[in-house]
Amino acid sequence: MAEEIGRSPNAPIASPASLLSLRGLTRRFGGLTAVDGIDLDLAKGDLVSIIGPNGAGKTTLFNLVTGLDRPDGGEVRLDGQVITGFSPERLAGNGIARTFQLGRVFGNLSVMENVLIGAHTRLRAVKPATPLIGPLLELGLALLRPAAVKAEEEQLRDEVRGILGRFGERLLPRIDQPAYSLSYANRRRLEIARALALRPRLLLLDEPTAGMNPTETTEMQALVAELKAEGLTILLIEHKLDMVMRLSDRVIVMDEGKKIAEGTGEDVRNDARVIEAYLGHGLSQPAADARETAA
């Protein structure tokens, strides 16, 4: 098959059931190979976690999958279709949603508006797919607002209230406040709410509990477990190993751009290469745990 040219010869063939499959994905920055020939399969409904020391290439891998960065080699498939090098806006349209490690909410938009942006790819009535004059029609419809456009907007707003309701009393009371006024933890929650509004087929979470205290972390863990139970396919980057062990179907360990281990939490925990990777970075496994949990 034409698509298979350029694939490393001994890479496993993508299993038909996998929603996301990466083959030999590589990204170099100058002399540094940030992501080095990563293979990964994610079946529908699975939750796979990626762990590894800082600088292992986890976020770069996310950027490659979501189109914010282009790979130097390898292939990304979503549901069997090659999506390597697609623009982020096109990938969002294909149902990939992500959160950002540093929390990138739209500061001057209200909580409601932030989540509505998440539903942008689902706008139909106000965004006709007509080629060429589509943008002008969109401008006209936004100004005139016929009944169908109003109904669509109302329905999305209702849905946003529903999504925000999943976070208990954290976000709903602040629905009209600008996002810059939210606490750090609430911004992380808002990012997830925005991602859910896209109704993703694949959700990538980049350290959703960073900077959260133990109570907040437990809450977040319960929410991610809930999403998994609903059948959402999730790729998770997380440093809190306790949460990783509880939630993941499989764990992938990265170090210096390479996948050094893959398996269940238990397998990975006892893998000699994993322990060495952490020790090699000057930290024993328990010490690393303690540090990440304290962070």
Partner 1 sequence: MSSWLDYTINGLILGNVYALVAVGLALIFGVSRLINFAQGSIYLVGAYIGWVAVVGLRTPLFVTIVLVAAISALVGLIIERFGLRPLQNSVRIAPLLATIGISFVLDQIVMLTFSPNPRALPSQLPDIRFQIGTGTIGPLDILIACIGITSALLLFVFLRYSKLGWAVRATAQDRDAAMQMGVDVNRVNQAVFGIAAALGGLSGLLVGMYYNQIDTAMSLHATLKGVVAEVVGGAGNVPGAVVGSLLLGLVESYGVAVFGTSYRNLFAFLLLIVVLVFRPNGLFASAKQAPPEPLTGTFIAPSRPVHIPRWALLIAFAAFALLPLLPVSSYVLQTLINAWLFAMLALSLTLVAGTIGQVSLGHAALLAIGAYTSALLSLDFSVPVSISIICGGLMSAALGTLLISPSFRLRGHYVSIATLAIGEIISLVILNWETVTRGPIGVSGIPPLSLFGYEFISAASIYWFSFAVMVLLALLQVRLLGSHIGRSFRAIRDDDVAARAYGLSLNRYKALAFIFGGFAAGVSGGIAAHLYSYINHETFNTQQSILALTIVILGGLGNAAGAIVGSVALVGLPEVFRIAAEYRILIYGIVLLLLVRFRPQGLLGTI
Residues that bind partner 1 (CB under 8 A): 28-30, 66-69, 87-89, 92-93, 97-98, 100, 102, 104-109, 113-114, 116-118, 120-121, 123, 126, 135-136, 138-139, 142-143, 145, 153, 178, 180, 194, 198
For residues 22 and 126, which CB has a smaller minimum distance to partner 1 in the complex?
126
142-171 as b/e: b if 16+ CB within 10 A: eeeeeeebeebbeebeebbeebbebbeebb
Pick 135 or 280: Cβ nearer partner 1: 135
Q: Which C-beta is closer to partner 1: that of 62 or that of 278?
A: 62
Task: Answer yes or no: are the C-beta atoms of 200 and 99 closer than 8 Å.
Answer: no
Closest distance to partner 1 from the beta carbon of 118 (Å): 6
How is the beta sheet containing 96-98 ordered, strand by strand? 96-98, 202-206, 233-237, 47-51, 250-255, 258-263
Radius of gyration in angstroms for the set of CA atoms belonging to the chain, rounded to a whole number: 20
In angstroms, what is the minimal distance from the CB of 129 to partner 1?
A: 13
Q: Which H or E element spans position 223?
A: helix 214-229
Q: Tell the smallest beta-carbon distance from residue 229 to partner 1 (Å).
A: 25
Determine the Cα–Cα distance for residues 283 and 256; give it in Å rounded to an integer: 16
Of 72 and 79, CB closest to partner 1: 72
The distance of closest approach from Cβ of residue 152 to partner 1 in the complex, given in angstroms and rounded to an integer, is 9
Q: Which is nearer to partner 1, 114 or 217 (CB)?
A: 114
Q: How far apart are CA 206 and CA 203, in angstroms?
A: 10
